[in-house]
């Protein structure tokens, strides 16, 4: 995702927008992030990051997922994640309990950039998943790394990201 983000920032929350009305909840919701250098995902989860690389940014016992069409779901992190601006960013979302119809808007990413494991209620997650070329549309919110830049430098650098 480096070519999509293009700059360093401290990520403090993530927001998704619902395409339709939904209800549900996620139990023991965990979101982790890691810097990775791979460009193609493997179907084996553990092959996509180095051991110990995943940093848990949020854990919520029970996350309500319901909302009206067009509403947003913002998840504030317990621990901000420092994205270095050069590696690919891996986001690992896991909730072994719950039920939902909590769809989010997606975009066509070209090569497979999502790995999904759908396991039965109270079942065990698998070590592998299915690759998809759809990526959830998300807004990563936080603070940009702006040290040592003048206002003019900031305008030029951010203006070239379009």
Task: Write the pLDDT tens digit of every residue in 81-108.
Answer: 999 988 989 999 888 887 766 677 778 8
Question: For residue 108, what are its two tokens?
Answer: 């066509």
> How many CA atoms are closer than 13 Å to the CA of 46, on its beta-carbon side?
5
Whether residue 131 contacts residue 114, with contact meaning beta carbons closer than 8 Å, is answered with: yes
Task: Give the pLDDT score at 156.
Answer: 31
Q: What is the mean pLDDT of residues 46-54?
A: 92
Nearest to 103 by CA among 55, 145, 71, 142: 71
Task: Write the pLDDT tens digit of every residue in 29-38.
Answer: 999 999 998 8
Task: Give the pLDDT score at 145.
Answer: 59
Q: What is the pTM of this model?
A: 0.78
The pairing of beta strand 97-100 with beta strand 24-36:
antiparallel
């Amino acid at each position: 995702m480096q070519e999509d983000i293009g700059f360093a920032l401290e990520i403090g929350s993530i927001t998704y927008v619902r395409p339709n009305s939904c209800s549900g909840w996620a139990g023991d919701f965990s979101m982790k992030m890691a810097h990775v250098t791979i460009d193609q995902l493997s179907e084996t989860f553990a092959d996509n990051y180095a051991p110990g690389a995943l940093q848990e940014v949020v854990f919520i016992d029970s996350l309500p997922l319901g909302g009206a069409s067009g509403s947003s779901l913002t998840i504030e992190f317990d621990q901000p994640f420092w994205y270095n601006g050069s590696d690919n960013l891996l986001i690992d979302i896991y909730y072994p309990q719950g039920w939902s119809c909590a769809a989010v808007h997606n975009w066509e990413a070209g090569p497979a950039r999502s790995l999904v494991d759908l396991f039965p209620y109270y079942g065990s997650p698998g070590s592998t998943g299915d690759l998809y070329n759809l990526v959830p549309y998300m807004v990563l919110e936080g603070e940009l790394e702006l040290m040592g830049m003048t206002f003019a430098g900031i305008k030029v650098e951010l203006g070239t990201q379009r």
